[in-house]
Amino acid sequence: MTDHYDAAIIGAGQAGGPLATALAKSGWHVALIEREHVGGTCVNVGCTPTKTMVASARVAYLVQRAGDYGIYTGPVGIDMAQVRQRKRDIVTTFRSGSRHGIETTEGVALIMGEAHFAKHDSNAADFALTIRLNDGGDSTITANQVFLNTGARPHIPAIPGLSDVSYLDSTTIMELDHVPQHLIILGGGYIGLEFGQMFRRFGSQVTIIQRGDQLLSREDPDVAEAVAQILQEDGIEVLLHAEVQHVNTSGDGRVQIKVGMSGMEQTLVGSHLLVATGRVPNTDALNLDAVGMKTDHKGFIQVNEKLETDVPGIYALGDVKGGPAFTHISYDDFRIVRANLLQNGHDHTTGRIVPYTVFIDPQLGRVGLSEQDARAQGYSVRVAKLPMSHVARAIEVDETRGFMKAVVDSDTQQILGCAILGIEGGEIATMLQIAMMGKIPYTAIRDSAFSHPTLGESLNNLFMTLDD
């Protein structure tokens, strides 16, 4: 007998898990198939563990700066095994809570294994899935609708010699039980920067290699330059316009990286290598050809504004569909599908405001359009900018690095986007996101009374710069 379900969800990430329970509570019979960990990338190898370790690194940083506040302590020691255990404990708590919620929801069958499509008859009313079960054997199920939430994994570039050396990725680096002597990082995106600053604060020498002309390639140049300056102040070496040509292991076991820069070659030697060059979708094991589904040239599944694929009855949610790879976007994908399937809604992704925070210290909080994107889209732009050294609260806590920047439509006075590089930048950016959602003109924020002395109060002064 083949079990039949109203819906099969492949991947128990931040869209798949909530969708399974929501459908089941509405009377659907749901199969939720997960090959590794309930909770997806975020809970297991992404947001939760990395931000837990970032917090440990910030404590180390503050202890090292204690004298700046008139506080004196003894030598600072880093116990990476304890840092790792703290991370593991929090991940286990989050993962266990998510799994418990799924397993106790009537109507959801949690199946641990890897699923792929079986050959599909276009005249059939359902889809067949074969599941290689984690505890052995195969199982076949059918479902009227299928939801793909299989996420992504670290991209490993085709660099000569890389496959012959021992390297770390964004998952394995969090399992180190010691502080690397010299960590070399390939990639200047948010993953590389967060780990770079983290391990610098733990005591590693750190070098970041970026092939482009700036870190964080999608940000405005002034933002990227300020981020690079902050990292360099922290003692991190940043190499731009650097192309990795070859990787090998030296006689003493260290990693050697040959880099081309401005027509010249340089060889870097480090104790550890972190590859942080983006992520690729987990679509290769799904056997999408069986249902006639196409992907783009990078393997991402294409969807419309309602997250429907080109095969009726199949949806894709989260990182596997490309676009912004953030937990909150995955969850919003779930919200859209839930609204449309269960609440007679007409929700869509068109015009969705995309916020995110890069958890370096100080944080980079971003929402909406950057300055260069706003100009490229033809807006008449005004830019408000305020250094954090002019923010009273930042001065009081001695965290004055960075700046606040907002992009305004000069015709409508609406806020188009912001970049807040400063202490709690993500929280301040959220304030501006709420203003954007409510279509509040920048003048209303400029003229509002906010509690003193808070970081939010600085938005008065930020927008007053447009009056100068």
Q: Which residues are known catalytic residues?
A: 452
- Residue 191, classed as helix, strand or coil, is helix
Contact 62, 56 (CB under 8 A): no
Side-chain half-sphere exposure of 376, counting CA atoms within 13 A: 6
The contacts of residue 1 (CB under 8 Å, 6+ apart) are none
Nearest CA to 149 out of 375, 376, 307 is that of 307
Please confirm whether the linkage preceding 362 is cis (ω < 30° from 0): yes
Among 236, 235, 238, residue whose Cα is nearest residue 213: 238
Question: Residue 416: in which H helix or E strand, if any?
Answer: strand 415-422
Q: Are 394 and 455 in contact (CB under 8 A)?
A: yes
* Residues 6+ positions from 11 with CB-CB distance below 8 Å: 33, 34, 40, 148, 149, 150, 151, 282, 318, 320
CA distance 134 to 137: 8
DSSP assignment of 223-260: HHHHHHHHHHHTT-EEE-SEEEEEEEE-TTS-EEEEEE
Partners of 148 in the β-ladder: 10, 316
Report the Cα 218 to chain-centroid distance in Å: 14
Q: Provide the 8-state DSSP code for 208.
A: E
- Distance (Å, whole) CA 215 – CA 212: 7
Whole-angstrom distance, CA of residue 49 vs CA of residue 30: 29
